[in-house]
Amino acid sequence: MKSHPPCSSKTPVRFRMPTAENLIPIRLDIENEGQRFKDSFTWNPTDPDSEVISFAKRTVKDLKLPPIFITQISQSIHSQLAEFRSYEGQEMHLKERIVPIKLDIRVNNTVLRDQFLWDISNLESDPEEFARTLCKDLDIEDLEVGPTIAVCIREQLFEIAIQGVASARESRVGKKGRRGAESFINSKMSSSSLDLVKLFGSKGSVVRKRKDWYLYEPIVDILSNEEAEALDAREVRNARLKKKLDEKEDSFQERS
């Protein structure tokens, strides 16, 4: 494994995931012909694009999904890869060395909520190894939970890396340009699932007051099959409602 020197908060580096392996998070949520496919995993952006269609074909075959899912899975992966690659080669300025990470996930019957601090200056960090250790410490037996934790961490680190690109751009421009870049950062953060202010207030502190320790303890719940099925049904209803609302909005915009 290639060794990376520690990243200084004042020295820009080339855009990459701030982890030992430059793996990017991929999340799929596709519904068609009455069937829904959800999955999350990591992908090496240096792999040939031909691997995407091969992966989509294998997935559809293994899960016996309608053939149309091949195109939809491929398009979604390509879109997420394109977003990552659009930042490659640009400078990334990581202002904060320690950032908060929050987990709020459900995998099958396991629900996990946790929050902790992550050193993004350590380019040898390994979300996958951290996830395996966390599952072991919490006695989580479902083997699908670990990879989901790693993807969730990488998604948040990816957003931070994108903000780092805007920060590096800000440092290269004048006062007027800095105001514009700041607006870009604020806009990106407001639309991002990673809202640091909402999670930890205006200052993400490494110091945890004793009276607040209970806030940082991981919570693991094991749902009954009935509870899990009820949540699945609610997620499906919400997804379909959102799809209908999006279609109505698109139709309205086309008419206007």
pLDDT tens digits, 131-181: 999 999 999 999 999 999 999 999 999 999 999 999 888 887 754 554 554
pLDDT at 182: 52
Extract the tokens encoding 183. 């607006």
Lowest mean pLDDT among 6-20, 43-57, 126-140, 224-238: 6-20
Contact (Cβ atoms closer than 8 angstroms) between residue 91 and residue 168: yes
pLDDT at 121 over 80: yes
Specify the pTM. 0.76
pLDDT at 67: 95
pLDDT at 195: 45
Report, as an integer, the average pLDDT of 84-104: 90
Contact (Cβ atoms closer than 8 angstroms) between residue 40 and residue 158: no
CA distances from 202 to 9, 73, 165, 212, 238 (A): 19, 38, 21, 16, 31
What is 91-122 written as a DSSP string?
Answer: EE----SEEEEEEEEEETTEEEEEEEEEETT-
The whole-angstrom distance between residue 22's C-alpha and the CA centroid of its chain comes to: 14
At what angle are helices 68-85 and 50-63 packed, to 10 degrees? 140
Contact (Cβ atoms closer than 8 angstroms) between residue 99 and residue 125: no
Check residues 174 and 44 and name the one with the higher pLDDT: 44
Residue spans per domain, the chain: 1-222
